[in-house]
Chains A and B, each alone.
Chain A
Amino acid sequence: MTSPQPVGRIRFMDQQRVNLDGFAVEDPELGLTAMRSPRDPDPSLVVKDGRVVELDGVPEAEFDSIDTYIARHGLDLAVAAEVMGLTDVAFARLLVDPAVPRAEIIRLSAGATPAKLARVLALLRPPELGLAMTKLRARRTPSNQAHVTNRLDDPLLLAADAATAAAFGFREVETTVPVLADAPSNAVACLIGAAFGADGVLIQCSVEEALELELGMRGLTSYAETVSLYGTEQVFTDGDDTPWSKAFLTSAYASRGMKMRVSSGAGAEVLMAGARGQSMLYLEARCVALARAIGAQGVQNGGIDGASVAAAVPSGLRELMSENVMVMMRNLESCSGNDALMSESDMRRTSRTLPIVLAGSDFVFSGFGSIQRYDNMFGPSNFNAEDIDDFLAMQRDWGIDGGLRTVAPARIGELRREAAQACRAVYAHLGLADFSDEHVDLAVDAAGSKDLGETDTLAVLSAAHAIRQRGLTVVDIVAALDECGYVDMAERTMAFTRARLTGDYLQTSAIFDSQLRVLSLVTDPNDYAGPGTGYAPTPERQREIDAIRQARGVEDLRAVQARSAVAMLAPVGPARPGQGPRDVVIGVSPAVGRDVWRCLSGLAVTGVLREMLAGLEEEGCTGRIVRFNDSVDLGRIGLAAARLAGSGIGIGLQGKGTALIHRRDLAPLANLELYSVAPSVTPELYRLLGANAARHAKGGTPDPARNPYSDEAIEARYHTTVIALMELERRRMDAAAPPEELSLEGLT
């Protein structure tokens, strides 16, 4: 017998998107283990005559280049004995004890070996990691970084998208290229665009080191973060660098006034088959210790390109967050990953990112894809343009600052146009390229580069070539902006160029705020010491977080409803009891015909009434419409309608579309039929309700309607509208006002 097909329940589960992800069997020999491997060394540090002679189980004679650099430059030997003498548990508890200040953790961590920090962090449970992150990050104010790229390296789209990213609140914009030679053009386009979106946004163009340095030296970019470190000597060498070459490069960037952080993270060694059977956390601990040793101000880690490798093994996400916290313990800026799509499952990728958003980091993402997935030339980020509204809602849901803000849609349109036009003007003025009006229009409106149609990519290449060959600098861009009439942007860019020269932004965790103030470890130190301390959004910032563009109040709804008002349902006099046995009353709620004109389903209230009346007529009954002003409760409205009707049968209809059939001898809540899911009720169902009411009136057999069912989040969609609609009803309620008969004109 062949193996039977799994049952339907399993086949159904197999189809869910999470099952597109790869999950690896834990295998320490391959380095496929997150927090700890049998091959990880026990922490040790032996110091003789002020010299490290053993580091994490390795004697000095056997130090590889990474051990050597850390041993000679990376450790504060004055505290080594003290911290290495602490038990792992004792140290781990200090991380989450609000009474122990950040400075004390920083002091101790400076003398701890890589293996020691790995062991200590492996003890923290996820909420403890979150608390440690909140306390230990260097900068008090959390922030965020965006990727701004596109498939075509289209400058106008880059400018529009950089302006958009800056307006949304990203304080760093990182671009890169599908075509290396386009890099200078991308840098210029992002520089111009971001200036329109906000003041003081740092720009990076991630390319090979020589070109990246060159762009920085000319003031076209202002930071770098792709200087990679690895946890084993073999992989480091395969990456064509050594700790000394990286240390030198770090100084080279600083010598040209550029902010720089290094990049590392779990999984890189595994992917390069060089993990030596050691855990991701231990190998990353070596990278982070080395980052501190070579004098980098910060680290981009948390998996980065290897994030999905970490995510494939048990406790992988915990490992990624531990890496970030380790950076903070080393007193460095954390740019906390979340920049690679680590799952096909929306739930898993949210699960990966949310704890860091909640805890707050120097940069929550080391590249939130501010453009669409397909335009992200780093590869899709864990969150992308598809997710910006989700992220804004998450900030608001939890009342936390993830660095982003809502921008009015009209403002986004203006900024994109200004940025694209300025970019075109500067390119034309400098003789780099000419772009058409139509191209500007397309770039302004584009949700992504696919909306641009065919573009002249050779023109971009030629512009980039000219920027490089002519040695254009930020001064040329400033002059061009000025001469093209963008004086404010020229001033803004010049002010930023001056601010860079103070060097303040070379300090740990530095960003510029929108007033060009530097926020860093030095100027904005994290002072978290438990509840009531540390960063909290200012009231103004909190309002910015809370005011997402989708939020609606009662007055918004009133305006929407007013747009649907029609000259119908006029009162024609007091409602009187009916006489005929086929008289059925449709009772409506107080705001119907006044403030409420459209049901949750989108149907006009008059259309619903028309269907009900038609249903009644089909079955030989006549309907009247009576507005009850003394109650918003549908059961009471329906019952009161039944009591006025000659047949003793009434229909109740709330303006939002909920409807029922009632009979005069029943209790208010005991109706005959109820359409409770107002958003899903169709015209056909309202007609059936009318017909069934008539059948009840005649003593016949009704054909009970089935409430429509849906797997959608009906409540999430409609509850706020229901609350507002009910408030409009309540405001029209008057306990003393008698019921009124409404005109049937236009309804029959």
Chain B
Amino acid sequence: MTEIRGLSGQSAGGTVPGGTVVSEIRGLSGKPVADLTLEAVRAGEVSLADLRIHPETLERQAVVAQEHGNPQLADNLRRAAELTQLPDDDVLGIYEALRPGRSTAAELTVLAESLADRGLPRCAALVAEAAEVYARRGLTA
């Protein structure tokens, strides 16, 4: 069972809504999904980065979500696409900073700016909005 099946059971080479050819899907490392075989595992050629979802995949799914009546899910998937470039600890660190009473508004604003600088504009906007609302609602440190 080495073929890749995508939507509606199409095998490798088929297309999915959003127009991407399934066989072109890659892991975050850039390795084609079709290369993630048991033989590759035996050869020690599969790393965790190969198993991580690629931002282009998330972007393509965002298009599909938008076309199926859920722009909010699309936004979420696009924020997720941005987050693929951050290490796990950074992701968990941002989550912690956003919990109630953890950060001052100024700290959140700085965090938003740093995210924008690192090329995560949507995540930056989320954090910037939190800074504003948290200050008004007493959710800051």
Contacts and interface: CB of A to CB of B under 8 A. Distances in A.
Interface string B59-96: 01100110011111111110111111010100110110
Interface in A180-230: 209-210, 213-214, 217-219
B64 A522 contact: yes
A160 interface: no
Given A499-B5, A502-B4, A487 B38 contact: yes
A502 B16 contact: yes
Contacts of A491: 1-2, 38
Interface string A502-545: 11101110000001111001110000000000000000000000
A244 B129 contact: yes
Given A217-B52, A241-B100, A295-B73, A495 B68 contact: no
A251 B73 contact: no
A72 B71 CA distance: 13
B137 A473 contact: no
A474 interface: yes
Interface stretch (A145-153, A253-261, A303-311): A253-261
A245 B38 contact: no
A218 B4 contact: no
A504 B99 contact: no
B73 A508 contact: yes
B33 interface: yes
Interface in B1-27: 1-2, 4-9, 16-17, 22, 25, 27
B40 to A, nearest CB: 9
Interface residues of A, number: 75
B123 interface: yes
A74 interface: yes
B127 interface: yes
A743 B59 CA distance: 86
A490 interface: yes
Contact of B69 (A331, A482, A502): A331
Given A293-B72, A475-B48, A503 B36 contact: no
Interface string B37-53: 11001100011100111
Nearest to B5: A516
A294 B22 CA distance: 28
B127 A517 contact: no
A255 B91 contact: yes
A501 B51 contact: yes
A58 interface: no
B32 to A, nearest CB: 10
Contacts of B105: none
A495 B42 contact: no
30 contacts: A65-B134, A65-B137, A65-B139, A237-B100, A245-B98, A247-B126, A251-B76, A251-B123, A252-B91, A254-B79, A255-B86, A293-B72, A295-B77, A295-B79, A297-B70, A475-B48, A498-B33, A501-B25, A501-B36, A501-B51, A503-B58, A504-B6, A504-B16, A506-B77, A507-B65, A508-B65, A515-B9, A522-B17, A522-B68, A523-B7
